Amino acid sequence: MLLIISTGMMNCAGKGEKRAETTTAVNAQEPSAPLPGQPFPATPPPAPEQKPALDQQVMNDAALNGELAKVEELIGLGADPNDIDQEGRTALMFAAFNGHTEIVRLLLDEGAEVGTRDALGRTALLYASTGPFPETVKLLLDHHADPNIVDNNEHFSPLMHAAAEGQLEVVKILLDGGADPALKDLDGETAALFARNNGHTEVAGLIQSALDSR
């Protein structure tokens, strides 16, 4: 008996292409009874349950977008919280960048390395310090993130990032956590100058006071 299987027309999502209709000829033999003295064929065992492929980009996207349940699901399926993408970034960095504190907490509890550096030398703390995320910054510091880490290119520190963005509460937490207000970038500028140049006078004053009290 000859079976004809048609796949029909299929659109490729996002590309506007169409897959041409194809047909596959399959020779199907009619089942026959076993010969005398032969046992009936055993029922084949059920196929093992297939787990979905674990894509690092899926993990990073979920962390970036605050999808806690999705991150939990992926970890439950065996995703490694320390996997990196092509730029050396981890899910912890993506979660920290958008201040998703509960995802950061989950990843740390699951063994994410707080001090991992990406291709530019940035850590999760450097990412978190750019935004209004004092709870995330505090959590990372509580897990021994280095408050004086600097990136590879400009030697920007977490305090410099927070100062440039005018993040007063983050600056306070960083200073309390051991951030050095005297650190300078490659151009010789301090965090206080970063704040002053961007019009954040209160932040600049706070950092300058910390510097003067040393």
* Each residue's pLDDT tens digit, 93-109: 999 999 999 999 999 99
Pick the CATH number of 147-214 from 1.10.10.10, 3.40.50.300, 1.25.40.20, 3.20.20.70: 1.25.40.20
Give the list of residues 6+ apart from residue 72 with CB closer than 8 angstroms, or none.
106
Strands 17-19 and 23-27: unpaired
What does the pLDDT look like over 107-133, one tens digit per residue? Answer: 999 999 999 999 999 999 999 999 999
Is the pLDDT reported for residue 90 higher than 80?
yes
- CATH topology of 54-128 equal to that of 147-214? yes
CB 183 within 8 A of CB 148: yes
Is the pLDDT reported for residue 195 higher than 80?
yes
Calpha distance 62→76 (Å, rounded) = 14
Where do the domains of the chain lie? 54-128, 147-214
CATH architecture label of 54-128: Alpha Horseshoe (1.25)
Average confidence (pLDDT) over 24-29: 39
CB 124 within 8 A of CB 145: yes
User: Six-digit token pair at 4?
Assistant: 């004809």
